[in-house]
Amino acid sequence: MNTVNVLLQESNAEKNINELNYELENYFENTLIPHLFVDANLVLRKFSPPAMKQFKLTPADIGKHIHVLSNIPYPALIENINEVIETGKTLEKEIQTNLQWFRMNILPNIIGKENKTNGVIITFVDITTRILNQQEIEKLNANHKALISSVSHDIKQPLSILLLLVEPLAEAFENNNPDEFKTGIEMLKRSVTRMKVILDELPVLLRSRRPLQVGVSA
């Protein structure tokens, strides 16, 4: 009776393993994410269809050492694989291959009973769009900082003139000197006009990110 129970348990265990392997194989064949399976000797054992397309792999590449696969343009790949095999810890990095960016994850493939890493599973998630958007945002931020600096610089000159005109205008008014007072008022108008031009152009410049150009002189 015990023998029968053992056989039934082994049969059920084998069935479960087969079902799990089928599910994994089905996932592997239908995933949209490039996967590479590399053993502890750094030999490519399997890859998903997207990896074939992404890295121009062929069935003939299975069984080759990962070192000879020049279609994966990431020099530190072997070093990273060895690190994961030695430590048993997952490694995640953002890498650039040609014109694309990927988030690369290297996961240890651990044998359950022995708790030993016998290879790695490498996934590549395309993050090119996110990286390009991030770079565009950084570029916009840099442009806006440059614009603010330029506006600040251009406003300082007419503002300085305004401050310098305060005392002469007051003296001209107190001394009843209409010519000096009129001259000061004209300079005041020009400075205020220039500041208005700068401030009026600011919303347009923020949208177009053009260099600041002010045509009215003080």
Intra-chain end-to-end CA distance of the chain, in Å: 106
pLDDT at 84 over 90: yes
What is the location of CATH 1.10.287 in the chain?
132-208
| Gap between the Cα atoms of 93 and 106, Å rounded | 9
Buried-state track 85-103, b at ≥16 Cβ within 10 A, e below 16: beeeeebeeebebeeebbe
Average pLDDT on 57-83 reads 85
Mean pLDDT of the chain, nearest integer = 76
What is the location of CATH 3.30.450.20 in the chain?
31-126
| Gap between the Cα atoms of 192 and 183, Å rounded | 14
- CATH class of this structure's domain 31-126: alpha beta
Confidence of residue 187 (pLDDT cuts 50, 70, 90): confident
pLDDT at 148 over 50: yes
Average pLDDT on 85-114 reads 86
Is 132-208 assigned to CATH 1.10.287?
yes
The proportion of the chain whose per-residue pLDDT surpasses 70, expressed as a percent, equals: 75
pLDDT at 6: 44
Tell the residue number behind the tokens 């000096």, with chain if given: 180
Chain-centroid distance of CA 194 in Å reads: 41
The proportion of the chain whose per-residue pLDDT surpasses 90, expressed as a percent, equals: 17
pLDDT at 90: 94
Confidence of residue 29 (pLDDT cuts 50, 70, 90): low
